[in-house]
A = this chain, B = another copy of it.
Amino acid sequence: MTYVHNAWYVTSWAHEIRPEHPVGARILNQPIVIWRNAARELVAFEDRCFHRLAPLSLGRCEGESLRCMYHGLLYDRTGHVIEIPGQERIPNNARVRRYPVIERYGWVWIWMGDAEQADERLIPPVGGSDYSDYVVAHGQLDYAAEARLVNENLLELSHAVFLHSDSFRYGETWALDRPKIMEQERGIFSERWIKNQGLLGVKGADPSVDTYFCYEFYVPGALLMTYRSYPVGTADALNGQRPDPTEAIGGFTGDEGFTRQAVTPLTDKTARYLYIHGARRRGGETVYDMTVIDKAFAEDKVMIEAQQRNIDTSPGARFVPTSADRGIVLFNRIVDRLVRAEASRVSEASAPHRIED
């Protein structure tokens, strides 16, 4: 499995990158340093000094510049060396790779491919963190597993019935019925009705409703899911079609709950998983039991890391898709198409320049 490079990857929460404190990360196996310049704007470089590969994340922010604190080379915000202590001449190739980086929706997004093709419109609309009508929970897990396995876990949610039988407690319908899945330009759209059940995840007894779920899953690994409840009978009356958001139960326009999640490959066999989960306030509070989220996501982690260990020790073994895996198959096809397109587009002119080239 290869990953798309011309895409925005979430590296971390934006508040983690504080002024004066460069932060190192590894994204798609590449060492990256992210820092804020004097204007508090984010800058991202490869995290190894041109001189002797020392990490710039151990460096010092100096206004618009970042200094390597091993031997003092100073980099401007474009990644060019502008000072070598005690040496006048600075070689033309004295620079590190700079990556496009953007702070949006509370997350830091980095573009790992050709900088000239970086397009902010490709950042998915991951709103939610600041919605005042919702109680919002945040979380993060670092996986000892490849990002692909975490993505595929989110692309096939029938697993919730089994893996999350002690947390989400979804009814069997989740696994027996298939959602409608549509292919999009850079991802998939999935929607479904769950009819005549108590609202999922709600504490205590709750009257039955018809619930409409839908989500988009974007390349390289962003999940945007929402759900709304309607009176029992709505799904059948609509013949399973998409409902009007303004007619949802609750007397408000919009979603009952939402989740926003991002999966980022750190290395071949490790991944970062960030998530926020919003539940509509009813009065001042939510009726949703937010602790269920962390429990469920810990269940995912145990299973996926064990799956990874099995993969590692079973070099000849292959996955065998079931009919539930349609979202996975479609998504991976999109990724493959984008990866192939990148490979054919790379030329002398557009290839990212690397010290080691």
Q: Which residues of A contact B (CB under 8 A)?
A: 26, 29, 31, 47-48, 50-55, 58, 67-73, 84-87, 91, 94, 152, 156, 158-159, 161-163, 165, 172, 175-178, 302-303, 306-307, 309-311, 313-324, 354-357
A50→B317 CA distance, assembly (Å): 9
Interfacial chain B residues near A94, Cβ < 8 Å: 320
Within the complex, which residue of B84, B163, B178, B310 is in contact with A48, where a contact is CB–CB below 8 Å? B310
Within the complex, which residue of B29, B73, B178, B311 is in contact with A53, where a contact is CB–CB below 8 Å? B311
State whether A322 and B355 are in contact (beta carbons under 8 Å apart), knowing that A175-B72, A317-B48 are contacts in the complex.
no
User: Would you call B51 and A162 a contact (CB within 8 A)?
Assistant: no
Nearest 6 A/B pairs, CB to CB? A316-B356, A85-B175, A317-B356, A72-B162, A87-B323, A53-B310
A309→B71 CA distance, assembly (Å): 18
Within the complex, which residue of B172, B176, B314, B319 is in contact with A51, where a contact is CB–CB below 8 Å? B319
Q: Copy number of this protein in the oligomer?
A: 3
Interface centre among A48, A318, A321, A322 (most CB of B within 10 A): A322
Within the complex, which residue of B29, B48, B85 is in contact with A324, where a contact is CB–CB below 8 Å? B85
Within the complex, which residue of B70, B152, B322 is in contact with A159, where a contact is CB–CB below 8 Å? B70
> Closest B-chain residue to A94, C-beta based?
B320
A16→B356 CA distance, assembly (Å): 44
User: Would you call B307 and A53 a contact (CB within 8 A)?
Assistant: yes
User: Would you call A87 and B302 a contact (CB within 8 A)?
Assistant: no
A158→B70 CA distance, assembly (Å): 9
Within the complex, which residue of B50, B87, B161, B316 is in contact with A85, where a contact is CB–CB below 8 Å? B161
Smallest beta-carbon distance A306→chain B, Å: 5
Smallest beta-carbon distance A326→chain B, Å: 11
Interfacial chain B residues near A355, Cβ < 8 Å: 317-318, 320
A94→B320 CA distance, assembly (Å): 9
User: Would you call B70 and A303 a contact (CB within 8 A)?
Assistant: yes
> Closest B-chain residue to A59, C-beta based?
B162
A158→B83 CA distance, assembly (Å): 14
Within the complex, which residue of B158, B306, B354 is in contact with A58, where a contact is CB–CB below 8 Å? B306
State whether A156 and B314 are in contact (beta carbons under 8 Å apart), knowing that A54-B303, A175-B85, A302-B58 are contacts in the complex.
no
User: Would you call A71 and B322 a contact (CB within 8 A)?
Assistant: yes
